[in-house]
Chain A
Amino acid sequence: MTDNINEIGRRKFLKLSAGVFAGACALTTLKPLISSMNPSKDVLASSTKKIDVSGMKNDDVRVEKWLGKPIFIMKRSVESLKIVDEVSMDALKDQQSDEQRFYDRNWLVVIGVCTHLGCIPIAKQGDYNGWYCPCHGSHYDLSGRVRKGPAPSNLVVPLYDIIYNDPEKKNASHIIIGVEKGTANV
């Protein structure tokens, strides 16, 4: 009788352990299948982009394509920065100071995708002379911060680094999108 019970217990154990093992094996097959749908190596390799900005004048806006999205680059003049600095935090929906956003304030670098529903804002338009999204009427200022309209947050600042021509870091030659600050100069 006790043998019988042991037998059943052992059987249960065998069944359970075999089942768990088979289940784990089945789950591991999901790993390559799901991974294959993630960005492939060639797509990942295109995730950094070096942009020559040496020829840009004050208050020029450039649009560059990065990972299929537009990147806005603006070389801001002293006047533009003054306008940006005059804004009080209370006036902002997504409270961020310009210093928090850009480590070299002469250069504005943002992903040019409206944070509302993904349209592309138009430069030097809208109530704040920054960007204006024609789809649903969001207004962004010269720091790319949302000031009016349905967009919930500021234009996103991507990872970027600036390469300078001079040790004083006055004249930028290139901006690299998709790398951490300080890694490009090495």
Chain B
Amino acid sequence: MSNDNKIIDQSKTGSVVDWIEYRLPVFSFIKHLCDYRTPINLSFMWNFGILAGIALVVQIVTGLFLAMHYTPHVAHAFDSVEHIMRDVQYGWLLRYTHAVGASFFFIVIFAHIARGLYYGSYKSPREIVWICGVILYVLMMATAFMGYVLPWGQMSFWGATVITNLFSAIPLIGDSIVSLLWGGFSVDNPTLNRFFVLHYLIPFIIAAFAVIHVIALHQFGSTNPTGVEVKNVKKETVPFHPYYTYKDLVYVVIFFLVLFMMIAFLPDYLGHPDNYIEANPMITPSHIVPEWYFLPFYAILRAIPDKLMGVLGMFGAIAVLFVVPWLDRHPTKSGKYRKYFKIAYWIFIFNFLCLMWLGGQEAAEPYLTLSRISLCIYFSYFLVALPLLSKYEPISPDIPESIESSLKSKG
């Protein structure tokens, strides 16, 4: 009884902030975000998480306004996109920001993943942070693919046809799955309609997973370039605000500068001119390519001369990311202190860029052979190099004792 009275008293006293805080602890949540302890030695490579968040917001906001003018119907989709470009006030700006923004989202995510791979961000106890991240990446690819279908150009249509046909490689039930995806017997109006709905929905699921990603991250805090965990919170960390909010802002400004430079001067550079031709189910363009961020996986698909194996290879190239924390079991987190890992890592990165280039070439020699070599290197990094290195790579004597000592030794 007295306890009840106390609660009522508490709720009556204090400011509006206290009143709200008592009922909904939103202010202590903001305080947690501000006070969140962050290692003092983070380099610019730790900025891409924030940038990915910003890119997601840009996509959702521009997409929301584009959806007000877009018509998901095969007879009107292409025209409604042209209507956005020509008639809607600032429609060109919204659409180019959305299209270029998608590419920038992937640039940011590639850098973010590459950072994670190099500094061993996936290692214990941050496996779930990593897995959430890979789920986010897969969801992003699904969203980007379906978004590219919406303008209903030639590349949209044939991209949709090829990608959905990937599922026909599944034995026995493949064809029924494809028919289910299409809502018919070819990519048509029902397909466009559901792609629009999903393209609108998934970004919100991405936002939810991003929250989970951050919650999991805050459990143990960010990694840092040394890979050594924080030992002295007072000396080796600073509160996120104002230190990292301001540092992040610098890169947010640079991000927007480059983004709007692309939008203003090279808006169609990363797109394909054939997508300005309305979809025609009777004619396939002579050279079809997916968006640049799918090219490495597209190269893997084409390199394998068997339908099912090609599809498995392509999906496997993404799926392998899920198990990276268990493939690389070397006790040293940061690649900075792993001489041999470093070599493998940079070969992997270079090879990934090669795959991307090969994905954009014709499906002919010498590109096919090169793609096959490249795809072997891709998988050997994960399945051979990482497990072997974890077993045989010696632990470097250069690993600092703590973040603090690593900074002292630098002078």
Residues of A within 8 A of B (CB): 22, 31-33, 35-38, 40-43
Chain A residue, CB-CB nearest to B88: A40
B247 in the interface (beta carbon within 8 A): no
Q: Is the CB of B65 within 8 A of A41?
A: no
Q: Is the CB of A36 within 8 A of B65?
A: yes
- Among residues 81 to 114 in chain B, which have CB atoms less than 8 Å away from a CB atom of chain A? 83, 86-91, 93-94
Interface 1/0 per residue, B43-62 and A, CB below 8 Å: 00000000000000000010
- Given A37-B65, A37-B68, A40-B69: A32 and B87 interface contact (C-beta under 8 Å): no
The distance in angstroms between the C-alpha atoms of A42 and B86, with both chains bound, is 9
- Given A22-B249, A36-B91, 12 more A-B residue pairs with CB atoms under 8 Å apart are A31-B90, A32-B94, A33-B90, A35-B90, A36-B65, A37-B65, A40-B83, A40-B87, A40-B89, A40-B91, A42-B87, A43-B87
Q: Is the CB of B89 within 8 A of A38?
A: yes
The distance in angstroms between the C-alpha atoms of A89 and B73, with both chains bound, is 55
Contacts of A22 in B (CB 8 A): 249
Contacts of B89 in A (CB 8 A): 32, 35-36, 38, 40-41
Contacts of B83 in A (CB 8 A): 40, 42
The distance in angstroms between the C-alpha atoms of A40 and B61, with both chains bound, is 19
Q: Is the interface of A mostly helix, strand, loop or mixed?
A: helix
The distance in angstroms between the C-alpha atoms of A31 and B94, with both chains bound, is 11
Q: What are 17 A-B contacts with C-beta separation under 8 Å? A: A22-B249, A32-B90, A32-B93, A33-B61, A33-B65, A33-B94, A35-B90, A36-B69, A36-B88, A38-B89, A40-B83, A40-B87, A40-B91, A41-B86, A41-B88, A42-B83, A43-B87
List 6 tightest A-B contacts by C-beta distance, closest first.
A32-B90, A40-B87, A35-B89, A41-B87, A42-B87, A40-B88
The distance in angstroms between the C-alpha atoms of A50 and B187, with both chains bound, is 43
Size of B's binding interface in residues, CB under 8 A: 14
Q: Is the CB of B94 within 8 A of A36?
A: yes
Contacts of A36 in B (CB 8 A): 65, 68-69, 88-91, 94
Contacts of B249 in A (CB 8 A): 22
- Among residues 66 to 87 in chain B, which have CB atoms less than 8 Å away from a CB atom of chain A? 68-69, 83, 86-87
The distance in angstroms between the C-alpha atoms of A119 and B89, with both chains bound, is 30
Contacts of A40 in B (CB 8 A): 69, 83, 87-89, 91
Chain A residue, CB-CB nearest to B86: A41
Contacts of A32 in B (CB 8 A): 89-90, 93-94
Contacts of A41 in B (CB 8 A): 86-89
The distance in angstroms between the C-alpha atoms of A35 and B84, with both chains bound, is 12
Chain A residue, CB-CB nearest to B93: A32
The distance in angstroms between the C-alpha atoms of A182 and B90, with both chains bound, is 33
The distance in angstroms between the C-alpha atoms of A105 and B157, with both chains bound, is 59
The distance in angstroms between the C-alpha atoms of A32 and B61, with both chains bound, is 12
The distance in angstroms between the C-alpha atoms of A183 and B242, with both chains bound, is 61
The distance in angstroms between the C-alpha atoms of A48 and B151, with both chains bound, is 31
User: Which residue, B83, B88, B91, has most C-beta atoms of chain A within 10 A?
Assistant: B88
The distance in angstroms between the C-alpha atoms of A37 and B86, with both chains bound, is 14
The distance in angstroms between the C-alpha atoms of A33 and B90, with both chains bound, is 8
Q: Nearest-CB distance from A135 to chain B (Å)?
A: 30
Chain B residue, CB-CB nearest to A22: B249
Chain B residue, CB-CB nearest to A31: B90
The distance in angstroms between the C-alpha atoms of A40 and B87, with both chains bound, is 5
The distance in angstroms between the C-alpha atoms of A35 and B90, with both chains bound, is 7
Contacts of A43 in B (CB 8 A): 87
The distance in angstroms between the C-alpha atoms of A41 and B94, with both chains bound, is 16
The distance in angstroms between the C-alpha atoms of A43 and B91, with both chains bound, is 14
Q: Nearest-CB distance from B71 to chain A (Å)?
A: 13
User: Which residue, A31, A35, A38, has most C-beta atoms of chain B within 10 A?
Assistant: A35
Contacts of A33 in B (CB 8 A): 61, 65, 90, 94
Contacts of A42 in B (CB 8 A): 83, 87
The distance in angstroms between the C-alpha atoms of A145 and B42, with both chains bound, is 74
Q: Nearest-CB distance from B355 to chain A (Å)?
A: 36
Q: Nearest-CB distance from B78 to chain A (Å)?
A: 16
The distance in angstroms between the C-alpha atoms of A71 and B60, with both chains bound, is 40
The distance in angstroms between the C-alpha atoms of A40 and B80, with both chains bound, is 12
The distance in angstroms between the C-alpha atoms of A40 and B69, with both chains bound, is 10
Q: Nearest-CB distance from B267 to chain A (Å)?
A: 15
Contacts of A38 in B (CB 8 A): 89
Chain B residue, CB-CB nearest to A35: B89
Contacts of A37 in B (CB 8 A): 65, 68
- Among residues 156 to 178 in chain B, which have CB atoms less than 8 Å away from a CB atom of chain A? none
Q: Nearest-CB distance from B134 to chain A (Å)?
A: 32
Q: Nearest-CB distance from B49 to chain A (Å)?
A: 20
Q: Nearest-CB distance from A174 to chain B (Å)?
A: 27
Chain B residue, CB-CB nearest to A41: B87
